[in-house]
Each structure stands twice: as C-alpha cells, then as structure tokens.
Amino acid sequence: MRTNFTPAQLEDPQLAAAEKQLRACVHCGICTATCPTYTLLGDELDGPRGRIQLIQHMLETDAVPSAKVVTHIDRCLSCLACVSACPSGVNYPRLIDKAREHIERKAQRPWARRLLRKALGQVLPHRELLRPLLMLGRIGAPFAALLPEALRAPARLAARLPKAERGTPIAKVSRPSGTPVGRVALHVGCVQEVVAPRITRAAVRVLVRHGFEVTTVEGDGCCGALNHHLGQAAEAHTHAKALVADIAKHEDDGKPFDAIVTTASGCGAVVRDIGFQLNDERGAAVGARTRDIADLLRGVPLKTGRAHRFTRVAYHAACSLTHGMKQAAAAPQILRTLGFDVVEPRDTQCCGSAGVYNVLEPAIADRLQQRKAATLMETQPKYIATGNIGCLAQIAAAVQLPVVHTIELIDWATGGPKP
C-alpha cells in the first residue's frame, strides 16, 4: 500500500520500520479470520486490516488520536495470530507497538484509565511492590464495586490470581555433577516470581539434571515486556538495557552462553526483538539466542520415569510462543515423548490474558477466557499445561483442576516432584 511519510519522519528508525510494514500490507483480509477481537465483535476496525489503516493515518499525520482510534488500538490483544496468517509477511508488531507508543505520548485518556496504566507499569515489574499490593487486592476484591469502573477489574483479577508465594532462593549459578553439556542463562522475570516461583525452580532442576550449567539473569527484575505493551517506551528500554547488561556481565569471562532461556513466552517474544527495540548490536545478540525452555530441551535425551505415564494433559499453546517465538511445537512433542497423553483443544485462539489485557479490557478477556476454558475441559484432562505465566493464571481462574507450566510436567517425568 502507498504511504505518505516525510523524509524527516523516516529518520526515526522505528517509524521507518513501521512504514516498511505498511507498504507490505495488501489489505487482502486473510488476517481477519484469525483475529480474536474481529471474530468476537465483527467490526472491521477491530481486526488487523482496519487497525493498520488507523495506524497509518495516525502516524503519517502525527495526529493526536481520537477516542475512537484509541479504543480500537487498545482492543488489540497483540496475540500476533495475524502475523502467522499474513501471506505478505507483514510484521504487525512493528506497527502496533509504534502505535501504542504514539498513543501513550499524545492521547488524553480519562484520569482513572491513566492512573491504572501508570500503576500497572510501575507495580508489575517490581516484585516487592507487586507482592503486598496483590495481597491487598485480594482483601479488597469484595469491595470492588465501590471503586471507579477502570479500577474494578484489577481488584477482581487480584482475587482470581494464585496467591503470592515465596520460593526458596536460587543459587546464581547451578552446576551439574559432571562436565556441563552447555551453559545457559535462565531469565528470571517479575510476575512469575511472585505468583509461581516454583516454575523457575523446576526449570533449574530439569536443566541441571540433564547436564546444563545454569546462571540466573534478571537485570533489574523485568525484561520490559509489560511496559513495552503499554506503550511506555522509556521504561521498557530501561528494563531491557538492564537485562542485556546483566547477561553481558556474566559473559565477560570469555564464556558466552549457549542460549538465553525463558520460561515465560510473553517475555521471550519481546526479548527476541530486543535488538530492534534498543537499536543495539549487543541486544540483537541476546535476542538471537533467546529460546523457550521446551525448545531448548527438544534435542536433549530426557531421563524419564513411569509414574506420570498416560496422564492426560490438555496443552494450551500460548500466542506469544506460537506466533511470537514460533516455538510452540516443542512442548507437546516433548510431553508425548515422555509418555503423557497430550490433547490439544480445537480452539487455538488467545485465552484473553495477553499481558495486562485482562485488566484493561476485562469484558473481551472474560469472553475469550470462558471459551478457552470450555474447549480445554472438553478434552477431560487431569492437568492443563501451558508455557506462559499470564495464560496459566488466566485459565486457572476459570477451571477446577491444576493448571501448570510445561516444565513442571517435564520435571515430574524426569525425577522431580509431582505438580
């Protein structure tokens, strides 16, 4: 499609990248059938093709976006199903991320909405803030109806999240008994370490059990993904730079990591693109080596027992793993190889978590959650497994059986505790 950016505008590398993607879009509409908000709402402006038109006009004119434009952009889940469907290879994240940054700078949102977004960006990346506020949210949930409308959803969501846990401290470096088969950096994030620190512990056990030397890296406690999706570019870059620096610090001895491993695909998808976001070669090197833990383990001979065999597991492929990291196939493949009875639901669309989407757009998120829960439960599993903490918490709030991370099942099958 044709664009009308000025040469001065295109001096911004991220705007130039967005312009390239706008030109690649041919408006064929194939993406619309994969878009959860379009299929739910039936509005062209709530599908990728419609949003791209809104984004083009907003960025070309450098305009202050109207409330209508903000609404349709905010409703995007960033599930990236449209990226996998697009025959022209449009990199939609280049567009929606730039649009969100633009809106964050220029739009005048209602005060309660501004306060909520600011609070999410300040609290979620910091574990020591999140932990007590999550506890307060659970206590205050019965009084949510007394809050402004924009603040009711986070209070109710806090009551549905798993209780905050305090995991046992992890050694900075964990080594196997013999000669390591590889050296990896395990990314330790923010929200997961508050609501499910057991996931990181299971990951360390599995990696060490199979011969890896594991160094935990965390930067300042967050990779920047949450701020990034909120359009808070400065905050996202601060977190991303800290993570890149933390990884580099542990490679200064001349022993580079074989991989940067993540157990949260929402983080992984953003970290893989960290070089573009920071316009930085060191960041690009980090992104190129970032892998989901199941993808790393796919080629590793796993030591398996028998107690777990034939346990039925419904596997939910997180959007960030499927469409962002392009590594969804590894997890169910490993679980089947280990002897689990793995079933995958007919509904492959987003569960409605999408970072903080279930807080900001609860009505749509709840519909997606209920649909996802129903299709998972149709398979009559003993466990539901997924590879992203946001999906895990979102689904767990809607079902009455254990929802676990894939690595917890791999840990159990290879000698660890039953989840």
Give 1-55 pLDDT, tens digit per residue. 788 899 999 999 989 999 999 999 999 999 999 999 999 999 999 999 999 999 9
Per-residue pLDDT, 154: 67
- Count of CA atoms in the C-beta half-sphere (13 A) of 32: 15
| Percentages (nearest 5) of helix, strand, coil residues in the chain | 55, 10, 35
Supply φ then ψ for residue 383, to 5 degrees: -135, 155
Structure tokens at 300: 């590793």
Per-residue pLDDT, 381: 97
Using CB atoms within 10 Å of the CB of residue 366, give its burial: 0 to 12 exposed, 13 to 18 middle, 19+ buried: middle
Structure tokens at 73: 């952009």
Per-residue pLDDT, 304: 86
Give me the amino acid identity at 172: K
Per-residue pLDDT, 149: 66
Residues 6+ positions from 398 with CB-CB distance below 8 Å: 369, 370, 372, 373
Per-residue pLDDT, 147: 67
Structural domains in the chain plus CATH codes: 9-106 (1.10.1060.10), 312-413 (3.40.50.1860)
Is the four-CA dihedral 235, 154, 354, 330 of positive or negative sign?
positive
Is the four-CA dihedral 70, 76, 80, 84 of positive or negative sign?
negative
Give me the amino acid identity at 175: R
Residue 61, classed as helix, strand or coil, is: helix
The model's pLDDT over 81-97, given as tens digits with 9 standing for 90+, comes to 999 999 999 999 999 99
Contact 202, 210 (CB under 8 A): no
- Count of CA atoms in the C-beta half-sphere (13 A) of 257: 29
Per-residue pLDDT, 134: 77
The model's pLDDT over 182-231, given as tens digits with 9 standing for 90+, comes to 999 999 999 999 989 999 999 999 999 999 999 999 999 999 999 999 99
At residue 167, does pLDDT exceed 80? no
The model's pLDDT over 287-296, given as tens digits with 9 standing for 90+, comes to 999 999 999 9
Structure tokens at 121: 């960006």
User: Residue 163: pLDDT band by 50, 70, 90 thresholds?
Assistant: low
**CA dist list (Å): 371 to 261, 345, 348:** 31, 11, 10
Question: Which percentage of the chain shows pLDDT scores above 70?
Answer: 92
At residue 148, does pLDDT exceed 70? no
* Integer Rg of the chain from CA: 21
Q: What gap in Å lies between CA 86 and CA 349, rounded to an integer?
A: 16
Q: Closest Cα to residue 21, out of 43, 44, 45, 49?
A: 49
Q: What gap in Å lies between CA 167 and CA 190, rounded to an integer?
A: 13
Q: DSSP class of residue 290?
A: E
Q: Closest Cα to residue 246, out of 231, 238, 391?
A: 238
Q: DSSP class of residue 324?
A: I
At residue 391, does pLDDT exceed 70? yes
DSSP string, 77-120: ----HHHHH-TT---HHHHHHHHHHHHHHH----HHHHHHHHHH
CA triple 359-343-327, angle to 5 deg:
65
Element (H, E) at 160: helix 149-160
- Average pLDDT on 91-118 reads 92
